[in-house]
Amino acid sequence: MKDKLKEIRERALKEIEESGTAEKLNEVRVAVLGKKGELTAVLKGMKDVDASERPKVGAMVNEAREEIENALNEAKNKIESKVREMKMAKETIDVTLPAIRPLTGHRHPNQIALDEIERIFIGLGYEVVEGPEIEKDYYNFEALNIPADHPAKDEQDTFYITGDILLRTQTSGTQVHEMEKGKLPIRMISPGRVFRSDEVDATHSPSFHQVEGLLIDEKVSFSDLKGTLQEFAKELFGEETRVKFRPHHFPFTEPSAEMDVSCFKCGGEGCRFCKGSGWIEILGCGMVHPHVLEMSGVDHLKYKGFAFGVGLERIALLKYEIDDMRLLYENDSRFLQQF
Ligand code: DAH
């Protein structure tokens, strides 16, 4: 019995020492101390031991069990702390790594250009108003001196909703809405979305934005228009910017003009940016046609006015030297992040 105990004890201690994992340790515990374990079997065999020997043998078994249990616990602690150490080593945080920046929104180039345009005109005493994107034929064409058979109506490929209702092809209808309100004088700009059934390419889109401008007052002349738009161009493109007005035709203004600005890349000498001409066209403008004033309920003998229309995308593309309009609509964050 003694030898048997000694043998069990020694083997158990050796196995404990050799077992490298918690699972292995548990196997040893079950094999030795479990219900059907070796030491348990010895205890069960106590009844066969001579009564005089029993206390001594019992003490020996207890001693062996205690020793094995201690060894088991010790080994268990060792294994656990080793596992923890390994885990810690693997999970180390490298505080010197650059952090991953959270993606934040950016203002769209169109919005930056619009904010700038609004800032300039608000500074000149203009109000910002909005007009409807879904419009009556009357406001988009007729009241702007573009009757049904006018060739200008063909120039703008219109999305019609019904025979009479359409998606506006220009923001100019806002001029009429503002004049119809009957509050004079008027100084307004009206930014907004317009629609034309155009194919998408680097310079066209079926939906883009314009900023309309209108000033109505007594004694307004073409010089007021020129002075105002010259100031606008200088604010937008830099103090050294020169402007040039070329005669043009719009049905709702008379006389009409297109305004060019001196190329802000080459200063007017001619470069790739301005296609060698030194000038860049940026807007249409003119004195509001008496027909338009009359149809909108404004006394054309007492009041005069000027109007202008700017393509917002055109300004954004020019200002940020973007060469393809489609980039403005794709909303690729890698593109937008640059602004
Ligand atoms: N509505 C014109 C267009 O879409 C732009 C324009 C030109 C607006 C002259 C005006 C203006 O107010 O006076 O091409």
Helices (H), the chain: 2-18, 22-33, 38-44, 54-90, 109-123, 137-140, 152-155, 173-180, 222-237, 290-295, 312-319, 327-330, 333-336
What CATH superfamily classification does 109-336 receive? Bira Bifunctional Protein; Domain 2 (3.30.930.10)
| Nearest residue by C-alpha to atom 7 in ligand 1 | 284
Query: With pLDDT > 70 as the criterion, what percentage of the chain qualifies?
Result: 99
pLDDT in tens, 132-191: 999 999 999 999 999 888 876 766 689 999 989 999 999 999 999 999 999 999 999 999
Q: Of ligand 1's atoms, which has the minimum distance to the CA of residue 306?
A: 13
- Specify whether the CB–CB gap between 255 and 222 falls below 8 A: yes
pLDDT value at position 53? 81
Between 125 and 12, the more confident residue is 125
Angle at 206 between CA 203 and CA 211, to 5 degrees: 75
What's the pTM?
0.72
> What is the domain partition of the chain in residue ranges?
2-90, 109-336
Mean pLDDT of the chain: 92
Between 147 and 294, the more confident residue is 294
pLDDT in tens, 30-83: 988 888 888 888 878 878 888 888 888 888 888 888 889 898 899 889 898 988
| Nearest residue by C-alpha to atom 3 in ligand 1 | 170
- Residue 307 near ligand 1, beta carbon < 6 Å: yes
pLDDT value at position 154? 67
pLDDT in tens, 83-103: 888 888 888 888 899 988 888
Query: With pLDDT > 90 as the criterion, what percentage of the chain qualifies?
Result: 62
Closest CA to 225 of 205, 249, 255: 255
Question: 152 C-alpha vs ligand 1 centroid, how far in Å?
Answer: 12
Place of tokens 């249990």: 69
- Specify whether the CB–CB gap between 303 and 182 falls below 8 A: no
Between 294 and 83, the more confident residue is 294
Report the residue count for the chain: 339
Mutate to test the pocket of ligand 1, among 121, 150, 155, 170 (most ligand atoms within 8 A of CB): 170
pLDDT value at position 17? 87
| Nearest residue by C-alpha to atom 4 in ligand 1 | 170
- Residue 170 near ligand 1, beta carbon < 6 Å: yes
- Residue 253 near ligand 1, beta carbon < 6 Å: yes
Residue 339 and residue 335: Cα distance in Å, rounded? Answer: 8
